[in-house]
Amino acid sequence: MAPKPIKNRVTAMTGADYPIIQAPMGWIARAQLASAVCAAGATGIIETSSGELDNVKAEVAKMRELTDRPFGMNVALAFVRGTNIVDFVIEQGIKFVTTSAGSPSVCTAPFQEAGIKVFHVVPTLEGALKAIDDGVDGLLVEGGEGGGFKNPSPVSTMVLLPLVRSRTDLPIIAAGGITDGATMAAAFALGADGVQMGTRMLTSAESPVHDNWKQAVINAAETDTVFLNQESKPALRALKTERTAALAPLGKFNVFEHMADIQDLYFGGDMEAAIPLIGQVCGRIDAVRPVREVIEETMSEFYDVIGNLHNTYG
Ligand SMILES: Cc1cc2nc3c(=O)[nH]c(=O)nc-3n(C[C@H](O)[C@H](O)[C@H](O)COP(=O)(O)O)c2cc1C
């Protein structure tokens, strides 16, 4: 039997059974993965950071064939150029958006006027306070242990989440290091109302990436990520490979040059073709698992952990 749904501020906005969000990831967070997430009772997100908006539109249409459950989209503001991304997303008819990599001030009001709830990704307290001023509906508080593009001064989820919670009553979705029910329970103890999983979803059975990459994540220890380009923007956290180990001491380089052949890595399995973005939680992932198993186990374990804590200390 599926674990009990959670009714809270996040599921009220996402329309899902569980306050678990699949992270947006360029090219990866498309219908195959996102529809499996929705079918399992969580929230699938369709990416726009690839910039391939015609393909993204087709993926949204595919979502409507594969699931009748609600899903969301992500707008990584710095990565989409030459199109009115706000109008594009509104036209897709979804009701939940996460914005990242830029200021939400330009898009929060138009999204909200179209009936869309907006959560902005924040890596610092300062970023959180700015997003609150911009009128967002919630915050996606992302710790520096997570995979992907990062603030040059990474702050861990353990520090950032309670810090932001101490300054706002808005709903918070926590990201960075979340992979199971124990980490979800920890995030809730620190003030979150929901969690987002990136690295975990990247390695799921329904993730479209090449098996070489999934296996590399599974084989990686918690010490096997590198933090790159921290003297410039965007900084990023990635798997240690020959390419990224050589880039690590540079402090500053042209990230986009090293991401140009990313599809050879994502779908061709050539781990040296580009920079493989992953989080430190790779050290806790040891198998490729179907999304439904990951989500249902996370929820059961979440209930067990909070129950055991209550029984022991309550
Ligand atoms: C391969 C990859 C691509 C990502 N692309 C995006 C993106 O397009 N937009 C975004 O907001 N976050 C992106 N992220 C960050 C994730 O949304 C998420 O917050 C992060 O992975 C959470 O940490 P975790 O990896 O420990 O779960 C990406 C992460 C990974 C691993």
Strand ranges across the sheet with 148-150: 148-150, 235-239, 225-228
CB 76 less than 6 A from any atom of ligand 1:
yes
Report whether pLDDT(81) > 70.
no
Report whether pLDDT(25) > 70.
yes
DSSP element (H, E) containing 139: strand 138-142
What pLDDT score does 83 carry? Answer: 62
Least confident interval from 33-37, 80-84, 110-114, 281-285: 80-84
Parallel, antiparallel, or unpaired: how do β-strands 194-197 and 20-22 relate? parallel
Report whether pLDDT(30) > 90.
yes
CB 25 less than 6 A from any atom of ligand 1:
yes
Strand ranges across the sheet with 96-100: 20-22, 194-197, 172-175, 138-142, 117-122, 96-100, 72-76, 45-46
What pLDDT score does 106 carry? Answer: 85
Q: Read off the pLDDT of residues 160-198 as tens digits, 9 standing for 90 and up.
A: 999 999 999 999 999 999 999 999 999 999 999 999 999
Extract the tokens encoding 21.
């969000």
What pLDDT score does 12 carry? Answer: 98
What pLDDT score does 77 carry? Answer: 83
Q: Read off the pLDDT of residues 208-265 as tens digits, 9 standing for 90 and up.
A: 999 999 999 999 999 999 999 999 989 999 999 999 999 999 999 999 999 999 999 9
Which of 199, 210, 222, 278 has the most ligand 1 atoms within 8 A of CB, as the residue to mutate? 199
- Domains present along the chain, CATH in parentheses: 9-207+291-307 (3.20.20.70), 211-282 (no CATH)
CB 202 less than 6 A from any atom of ligand 1:
yes
Q: For residue 196, list its beta bridge partners.
A: 21, 175
Q: Read off the pLDDT of residues 41-75 as tens digits, 9 standing for 90 and up.
A: 999 999 999 999 999 999 999 999 999 999 999 99
Q: Read off the pLDDT of residues 99-108 as tens digits, 9 standing for 90 and up.
A: 998 888 889 9
| Residue position matching structure tokens 């990436």 | 209
Kindly give the distance from the C-alpha atom of residue 201 to the centroid of ligand 1, in angstroms, as a whole number: 10
What pLDDT score does 101 carry? Answer: 82
CA-wise closest residue to 157 among 139, 171, 138, 178: 178
Atom of ligand 1 nearest to the CA of 197: 27
